[in-house]
């Protein structure tokens, strides 16, 4: 009560100055010990939120790239499997001969001979020539070559020679010799070759 009585005894401007001083002190204390810590905490949380958002976006980007790579890998594996069917990794002479024999028989051609030749190696595949002799007529021979071109395996026909048959007991009018070249896929790919010099025996005389 003594303080209040003392203040009441002050001039009005003195009372106003006191109240202003107390208000400023309270504002400073509230700002220093309440508002500033909260603002600092909010700033720290905002930074953490931005970092988390950046990490999430980065994770989404990496996830999208991973999905892209997986799709590309599957596409390439699918292409490889398709190529392996076109260029098989085994020689499969019996299935190939059976298919050629079937195509020829369906057209009325006779496979007189079928002789595999030596393979010609390349980096990723070997060329494998097959010498064939066929009896039939021009029309069926052309149809036969057309069917070979549409087989699941790549077969190139070249070195074709045609000769007329004379006085046969069948409807065959020609005999044809040709080389049908197919290709064999090599799993291991190209091999590096190194040249080793033979060791010298003995010393110089």
| 18 is a domain residue | yes
- Shared-domain flag, residues 78 and 100: no
**Host domain of residue 52:** 1-86
| DSSP conformational letter for 108 | T
Co-location of 70 and 18 in the same domain:
yes
CB 116 within 8 A of CB 130: yes
Q: Each residue of 173-190: pLDDT tens digit?
A: 899 999 988 887 776 655
- Picking from 60, 160, 144, 64, the residue whose alpha carbon sits closest to that of residue 110 is 144
Residues 55 and 14 in one domain: yes
pTM: 0.49
Tell me which DSSP letter residue 197 carries. Answer: P
Q: Summarize pLDDT for 46-73 with one digit per residue, the tens.
A: 888 888 888 888 877 878 888 888 888 8
For residue 123, being part of any structural domain is answered with yes
Find tokens 């260029």 and name the residue.
Answer: 87
> Do 177 and 97 share a structural domain?
yes
Q: Which residues of 14-48 are buried (b: 16+ CB within 10 A; e: fewer)?
A: eeeeeeeeeeeeeeeeeeeeeeeeeeeeeeeeeee
Is the pLDDT at 79 greater than 80? The verdict is: no
CATH number at residue 124: 3.30.70.60
Separation CA 58–CA 61 (nearest Å): 5
């Amino acid at each position: 009560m003594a303080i209040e009585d003392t203040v009441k005894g002050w001039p009005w401007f003195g009372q106003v100055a006191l109240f202003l001083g107390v208000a400023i002190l309270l504002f400073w204390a509230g700002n220093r010990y309440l508002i500033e810590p909260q603002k600092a905490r909010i700033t720290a949380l905002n930074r953490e939120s931005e970092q988390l958002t950046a990490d999430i976006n980065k994770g989404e980007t990496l996830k999208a790239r991973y999905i892209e790579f997986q799709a590309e890998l599957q596409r390439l594996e699918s292409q490889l499997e398709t190529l392996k069917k076109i260029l098989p990794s085994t020689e499969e002479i019996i299935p190939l001969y059976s298919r050629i024999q079937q195509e020829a028989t369906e057209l009325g051609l006779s496979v007189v001979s079928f002789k595999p030749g030596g393979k010609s190696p390349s980096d990723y595949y070997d060329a494998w020539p097959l010498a064939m002799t066929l009896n039939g007529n021009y029309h069926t021979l052309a149809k036969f070559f057309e069917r070979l071109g549409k087989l699941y395996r790549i077969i190139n026909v070249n070195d074709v020679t045609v000769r007329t048959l004379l006085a046969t007991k069948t409807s065959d009018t020609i005999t044809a010799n040709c080389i049908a070249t197919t290709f064999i896929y090599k799993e291991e790919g190209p091999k590096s070759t190194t040249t080793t010099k033979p060791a010298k025996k003995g010393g110089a005389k």
